Structure 1
Amino acid sequence: MNPKTTPPEIPDRAAAVSLNLLPQISRKKYETAYEKFLTWRKNSKIKSFSENILLVYFEDISKTFKASTLWSQYSMLRTTINIEHNVDISTYPKLRSFLKRMSESYIPKKSKILTAEELQQFLNEAPDEMYLLIKVAVAIGVTGACRREELWKLKTDDLKDLNSALLVKIQNTKTKKSRTFTVTGEFYNIYKKYAALRPLDMSENRFFINYRKGECTRQVVGINKFGGMAKQIATFLKLPNSHLYTGHCFRHSSATILVNAGGDLSTLKRHDGWRSSSVAENYIDDCITNKITVANKIVTSIEQPTVTNPFTQMDTENSHYLHEDQPSTSTNINITKNLLKTNDIPGLSLNNCSNFTINYNFK
């Protein structure tokens, strides 16, 4: 289209649409990353968006940023530069190779997890007067593998009491896909105890409101308070390195407990709402129960003596009754006394027999 014939309002409308292409929740982060890059480019007296320029920029910030942060910066710049300047930096192979090389020796720090036994100990020993809010956050957060922001945004409309269980719907997740789960058993009783203390005339529809000395206030719980709950649990249980129990602890603990209980890959992906299998596979690979099961199979195979099937050494007459590869676990075998020598099976004595049936269990 000829620029001279383009209506004057079109560029302004296009610019407004372009701004909406950035994620609403993290738009500020995208804009900050973009502004930092433009400032660096200006100070370096550079005007280009070439691959070499981006390569040098990322080499500079790699001195202060860890590998995971470099990838997030790359992702944000890829989007903003494409929107603002119509330049696709995802086509820069050397830049991606550099980022991959920086990630080779990087080991991401994960939040420590709370085991099923530790959670049970906390629920049993921690007094409700001080810890009921954290207990109900555990009940919902661990059962549903919730992120701290998902607990923070949870509304009363997202909860449905089924009398014997609680149905929870998580809206606006990180993957843009809602998920539902139920809270049952002891966790449901904890929810009922907390819900009964909420003021009846609350205008705020956020479910989690502050709790102090046995009573609920009218102030909603902040997102940072959810982030510190796992640390409070670890501190109460006197676990080492309590500062490593972060806001992702409930989610990681939920996945680990599920896998240790026998959950498979598809169950884990549905439960946690993951699209990719790689993240879920990490939990399965790290599962102690799975590792013990595999080790037991190997050790049992080595230690178990090989048992020779006495029937495989018989004469060929009537051998169609006795195939050593027969898959069934219990088989009726009709043979004659001439086919079987009593010395073949210790403890078995056959005298003056004509036709008879032997039930032999193949293992």
Structure 2
Amino acid sequence: MNNCESEEIVEAANIAISNLLPTKSRSLYDIAYNRTGDGYQAKKSKILTKSEIDRFLSSADDKEFLMIKVGLILGIAGACRTDELVNLTVDDIEDFAASWQEYHGKISSVVASYLKLPDVACYTGHCLRRSSATLLADAGVDITTIKRHAGWKSTTVAEVMSRTPLKIRPKLLIRF
């Protein structure tokens, strides 16, 4: 293989890698990746456990927390991004959407607060998505299914989001 072919392979690999990140996340990723490290510390949303979810659903009063319960169920079952929950319409859920905007970004923190979990502010809108992936991983669901469920292309992202690294990592073999 000559040097020109090697450069073409490297360029093709770089293009493939750049397409792994969803367009919506690209600008945020670029900002975080290009930081010089001066005081910046990445923040990850915490994850609700199955027992915490069960405890909230069974003990929180429906009169006060019904919307949060529904949002929690939808967010976990659908591995939803915050904007996916925000953009629900009446066509998606009848008799529910009218009050939805009030709760969209607060579901995880309301649940964490109710359960008296530490660091309530760390239960962000991304918590439901990460919790969904983690619950699937904890139940023994394979990484490919988790990636498909959440819409992730990258195995590494799925591992990080689900807190469940693979025991055997695939190897990428490129010879130059």
Q: Which residue of 2 aligns with 1:129?
A: 63
Q: Distance in 1 between matches of 2:80 and 2:104?
A: 11
Sort the Cα spacing of 1:287 and 1:239 in 2 relative to 1 into closer, same or farther, 3 A: same
From 101, 104, 107, the equivalent of 1:221 is 101
Q: Partner letter of residue 72 of structure 1?
A: I
Query: What do the CA deviations read for 1:17-73 (whole angstroms, capped 9, x no partner)?
Result: xxxxxxxxx8xxx8xxxxxxxxxxxxxxxxxxxxxxxxxxxxxxxxxxxxx67x238
**Structure with more relative contact order (C-alpha pairs < 8 Å, separation 6 or more):** 2
One-letter amino acid of the structure 1 residue matched with residue 56 of structure 2: F
Q: Give the alignment's Cα RMSD to 1 decimal.
A: 3.1
Residue 154 of structure 1 corresponds to which residue in structure 2? 88
Structure 1 runs of 4+ with >6 Å offset: none
Tell me the equivalent position of 2:164. 287
CA distance in 2, matches of 1:141, 1:287: 20
Task: Give runs of aligned pairs for residues 1-363 of structure 1, distance below 5 A.
Answer: 71-72=30-31, 99=34, 102=36, 108-158=42-92, 198=95, 207-210=96-99, 221-222=101-102, 225-283=103-161, 286-287=163-164
Q: Which amino acid aligns with 1:122?
A: F
Aligned AA (1:137): G
Bigger proportion of residues as strand: 1
CA distance in 2, matches of 1:269, 1:137: 22
CA deviation string 1:284-341 (max 9, x = no partner): 5x339x88xx9xxxxxxxxxxxxxxxxxxxxxxxxxxxxxxxxxxxxxxxxxxxxxxx
CA–CA distance in structure 2, aligned partners of residues 269 and 106 of structure 1 = 29
**Cα offset for 1:283?**
4.0
**Could you state the TM-score of these two structures normalised by the residue count of structure 2?**
0.69
Number of aligned residue pairs: give it.
142
Residue segments in structure 1 that go unaligned for 5+ positions in a row: 1-25, 31-67, 75-98, 160-194, 199-206, 211-219, 295-363
Would the alpha carbon gap of residues 262 and 234 (structure 1) be closer, same or farther in structure 2, given more than 3 Å must change? Answer: same
Q: Retained in 2: the 8 A contact 1:113–1:253?
A: yes
Q: Partners of 2:124 and 2:130 in 1: how far apart?
A: 10
Distance in 2 (alpha carbons) for counterparts of 1:140 and 1:127: 18
Rg larger in structure: 1
Q: CA deviation at 1:227?
A: 1.4
User: How far off is 1:277 after superposition?
Assistant: 2.2
Q: C-alpha distance in 2, partners of 1:283/1:151?
A: 19
Output the TM-score relative to the length of structure 1. Answer: 0.35
SS at match of 2:91: helix
How far, CA to CA, are the matches of 1:149 and 1:252 in structure 2?
A: 15
SS of 1:120's partner is: helix
Q: Distance in 1 between matches of 2:41 and 2:142?
A: 25
Distance in 1 separating the partners of 2:137 and 2:40: 26
Q: What is the distance in 1 between the residues matched to 2:153 and 2:101?
A: 30
| Superposition deviation, residue 107 in structure 1 | 5.4
2:157 aligns to what SS in structure 1?
helix
Q: Is the 8 A contact 1:152 1:208 kept in 2?
A: no
